[in-house]
Amino acid sequence: MKISILIENTKNNTKDLICERGLSIYIETNGKRILFDTGKSGNFISNANNMGIDLKHIDAAILSHGHHDHGGGLLSFLQINNKSRVYAKRAVDRDFYFRTMLFSSSIGINKKMFNEYLDRINYIDEFTEIIDNVYIITDIEKRHKIPKGNKYLFVKDGDRLINDKFEHELIMVIREKDDLTIFTGCSHNGTVNMIDAVRNRFPDLKIKAIVGGFHLVRFPLVNSLTPSEEEINLLLKKIQEEDIKEVYTGHCTGEKAFKKLESALCSNVTYIRTGMEFNI
């Protein structure tokens, strides 16, 4: 499996690529081309072109959840790709907000896309194999604590804002032989809970790798606020219990939280940046 990071908050030394606060990942596996999230804008398309990746040939696009830093570029993608189906959970098109005591800001995805390209979108409400050996998991039981940063995230319910329960978030899993790779967008349901959801669906297969954001930044706009030792230790314990040898993370994980993971996992964990390419 070959993975290319089209957009992340940071970038490697490649000068002709654009970084933005968002996530977009391109995957080649089993002869298929997959797009997982589209960043905040169409910048991931420009990056893909500069990386020699033609997004017109994508076989499936997956939207991890309904926030604009993961789906803001989806309209731009659909305008250049006329064949790919888009897979998302229902309610991904609701009005989402980031709110503190001082201000409130919309973080949902442009509704024009959902209306204009209705025939291209497949809403997934249950465990589904969307193409050979590529699975979507929709049911995530919250047995463990969810990220503290979620308390600033809301969804509109009539005329009021209520705390988002993230029922619009999904997990993508790719199987290669007897190995699984997990893809998360932001892990708002909790990375440990998401790993458990995969284990429940695939009790006898090895989880080889996990790729994506872990939402370990306590306040979404301030990377300096790291999670508690309890959150870090719970995640580390789960990774070690499952013997996950390859961890690739960035975006909402935060670099300070990453350093704590790195001190325990050493070379088994890698910070993903715009322009990075690797094989799993």
Instruction: Spell out the domains of the chain, with CATH numbers in brackets.
Output: 2-279 (3.60.15.10)
E strands along 124-258, which residues? 128-131, 134-137, 153-157, 160-163, 171-176, 179-184, 206-212, 246-249
Residue 247 has pLDDT above 70, yes or no: yes
Instruction: Please state, as a whole number, how many other Cβ atoms lie within 10 Å of the Cβ of residue 263.
Output: 11
pLDDT tens string 183-235: 999 999 999 999 999 999 999 999 999 999 999 976 655 554 566 778 889 99
Q: With contact defined as beta carbons under 8 Å apart, do 250 and 258 qualify?
A: yes
| Res. 49 pLDDT band, cuts 50 70 90 | very high
β-partners of residue 3 are 27, 278
Closest listed residue to residue 65, CA positions, set 205, 166, 193: 166
Burial class of residue 270 (count of CB atoms within 10 Å of its CB; 0-12, 13-18, 19+): middle
Span 143-155, average pLDDT: 93
Q: With contact defined as beta carbons under 8 Å apart, do 252 and 24 qualify?
A: no
Tokens standing for 19? 């970084």
Buried b (16+ CB within 10 A) or exposed e, 66-77: bbbbbbbbbbbb
Span 149-160, average pLDDT: 94
Q: With contact defined as beta carbons under 8 Å apart, do 72 and 79 qualify?
A: no
| Res. 101 pLDDT band, cuts 50 70 90 | confident
Handedness of CA 101, 220, 172, 57 (dihedral sign): positive
Q: What is the mean pLDDT of the chain?
A: 94
Distance CA 72, CA 42 (A): 8
Distance CA 77, CA 58 (A): 10
What pLDDT score was predicted for residue 186? Answer: 96
SS3 sequence of 8-54: CCCECCCCCCCCCCCCEEEEEECCEEEEECCCCCCHHHHHHHHCCCC
The pTM for the full model equals: 0.95
Distance CA 275, CA 277 (A): 6
Q: What is the dihedral of CA 16, 213, 68, 6, to 10 degrees?
A: 20
Residue 43 has pLDDT above 80, yes or no: yes
Q: With contact defined as beta carbons under 8 Å apart, do 96 and 164 qualify?
A: yes
What pLDDT score was predicted for residue 42? Answer: 96
Residue 102 has pLDDT above 90, yes or no: no
Least confident of 36-50, 56-70, 92-106: 92-106
Distance CA 213, CA 251 (A): 6
What pLDDT score was predicted for residue 192? Answer: 98
Q: With contact defined as beta carbons under 8 Å apart, do 191 and 249 qualify?
A: no
pLDDT tens string 1-20: 999 999 999 988 777 999 99
Q: With contact defined as beta carbons under 8 Å apart, do 260 and 226 qualify?
A: yes
